[in-house]
């Protein structure tokens, strides 16, 4: 089944990125959040990205106008009613996600596939109370979405093969490489990446080196494109802490014990780039 209309629930960094790549690929996109201010901020970010692409000669002003025309924003979930695929990109809290899926089930027609961009929660658990477990799938994107090529596609226990195929096809339509992963905490990338970031935070906490030195060491010594602490700030330290806490609980293995440095940053409200401060200060940038 071809996808024409894409719904995105949640206009934060990831939701805005998914809406942006959808609109750039010629899909009609409905972006929904609780408040108009969140939607306005998301659109402003997209315009900034497209303006940069215009100035680099990668797209024209006309392309930019067409992309913008492809996006509708709303604060009412009812506007998802004619979407072929809706991707949920809301807060990383399993109970809130489960409720959102029930609400989406009430609104969307039976054939609509509903995907979760969860960083690692069980798709089976989200699907179980959704009212349409065969049409629920994980589609896990990476930050920054317009740049990162991968989407992990994760079937839950009752996801139909047709649903998985639609999700894989949607990735192709929006220019992403889909890799199918079995359901397991963190899927492929976060299972490996998040403990690495947590370890970097612990090394920082123990005073092994400064944040700048830890990041530079990993860039120069391991060819990482970005240092781990800068990546914590980019992803969001609150998101990382939630993921590593979930791993700790699910695997019951001390190797996933959350770093005190991550906990302290979250307690202080220093979430990273999005709050203006994390391991680095972004307030003057």
Rank residues 96 and 226 by Cβ distance to ligand 3HC and give the closer one: 226
- Choosing from 74, 105, 143, 205, the residue that interacts with ligand 3HC (CB under 6 A) is 143
**44, exposed or middle or buried, with CB in 10 Å at 0-12, 13-18, 19+?**
exposed
**Residue 220 touching ligand 3HC (CB under 6 A):** no
Q: Which residue has the tokens 């054939």?
A: 111
- For residues 14 and 170, which CB has a smaller minimum distance to ligand 3HC in the complex? 14
From the CB of 159, what's the least distance to ligand 3HC, in Å?
Answer: 20
CA distance readout (Å), 124 to 121, 138, 158, 192, 251: 9, 9, 7, 21, 17
Q: Which of 77, 130, 152, 259 is catalytic?
A: 152
Give how far Cα 135 sits from Cα of 112, 125, 150, 155, 172, Å.
7, 13, 22, 10, 19
Place of tokens 């969140």: 38
Q: Considering 140, 259, 270, 275, which one is annotated as catalytic?
A: 140
**CA-CA distances (angstroms) from residue 24 to 50, 139, 208?**
10, 18, 44
Nearer Cβ to ligand 3HC, position 56 or 182?
Answer: 56
- 206 φ/ψ angles, rounded to the nearest 5 degrees: -80, -5
Instruction: Take residue 154 and report the two structure tokens written for it.
Output: 């994760």
Instruction: Pick one of 25, 70, 190, 275: the residue that binds ligand 3HC (CB under 6 A).
Output: 190
H/E stretch holding 218: helix 211-222
Candidate segments 73-81, 158-166, 231-239, 248-256, binder of ligand 3HC by CB under 6 A: 231-239
DSSP state of 80: G
Say how far residue 93 (Cα) sits from the centre of its chain.
Answer: 13
| 202 scored as a contact of ligand 3HC (CB under 6 A) | no
Residue 188 in the binding site for ligand 3HC (CB under 6 A): no
Contact set for ligand 3HC, span 148-187 (CB under 6 A): 148
Verify whether residue 152 is a known catalytic residue: yes
Q: Is 154 helix (H, G, I), strand (E, B) or coil?
A: strand
Q: Which of 226, 253, 281, 282 binds ligand 3HC (CB under 6 A)?
A: 226
| Closest by Cα among 167, 232, 149 to 3 | 167
Asked about 119 being catalytic, the answer comes back as yes
Only segment of 73-81, 121-129, 144-152, 168-176 that touches ligand 3HC (CB under 6 A): 144-152
| Per CB under 6 A, 225 contacts ligand 3HC | yes
User: Does 144 sit near ligand 3HC (CB under 6 A)?
Assistant: yes
Of residues 45-74, which lie at the interface with ligand 3HC (CB under 6 A)?
Answer: 49, 52, 56
140 is catalytic: yes
Contact residues: ligand 3HC, CB under 6 A:
49, 52, 56, 119, 142-144, 146-148, 190, 193, 225-226, 231, 235, 239
Q: Which residues are catalytic?
A: 119, 140, 152, 190
């Amino acid at each position: 089944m071809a996808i024409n209309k894409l719904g995105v629930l949640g206009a934060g960094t990831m939701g805005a990125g998914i809406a942006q790549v959808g609109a750039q690929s010629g899909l009609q996109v409905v972006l929904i959040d609780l408040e108009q201010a969140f939607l306005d901020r998301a659109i402003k970010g997209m315009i900034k990205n497209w303006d940069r692409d215009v100035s680099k000669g990668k797209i024209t002003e006309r392309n930019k106008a067409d992309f913008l025309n492809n996006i509708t924003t709303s604060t009412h979930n009812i506007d998802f009613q004619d979407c072929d695929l809706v991707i949920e990109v809301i807060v990383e809290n399993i109970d809130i996600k489960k409720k959102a899926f029930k609400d989406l089930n009430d609104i969307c027609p039976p054939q609509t596939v509903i995907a979760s961009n969860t960083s690692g929660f069980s798709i089976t658990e989200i699907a179980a109370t959704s009212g349409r477990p065969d049409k629920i799938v994980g589609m896990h994107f990476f930050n920054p979405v317009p740049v990162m090529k991968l989407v992990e596609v994760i079937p839950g226990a009752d996801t139909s093969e047709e649903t998985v195929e639609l999700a894989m096809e949607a990735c192709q339509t929006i220019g992403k490489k889909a890799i199918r992963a079995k359901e397991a905490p963190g899927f492929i990338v976060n299972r490996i990446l998040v403990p690495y970031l947590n370890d970097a935070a612990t090394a920082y906490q123990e005073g092994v080196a400064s944040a700048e030195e830890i990041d530079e060491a990993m860039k120069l010594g391991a060819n990482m494109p970005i240092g781990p602490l800068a990546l914590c700030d980019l992803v969001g330290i609150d998101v990382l802490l939630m993921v590593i806490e979930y791993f700790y609980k699910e695997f019951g293995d001390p190797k996933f014990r959350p770093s005190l440095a991550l906990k302290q940053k979250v307690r202080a409200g220093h979430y990273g780039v999005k709050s203006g401060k994390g391991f680095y200060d972004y307030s003057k940038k």
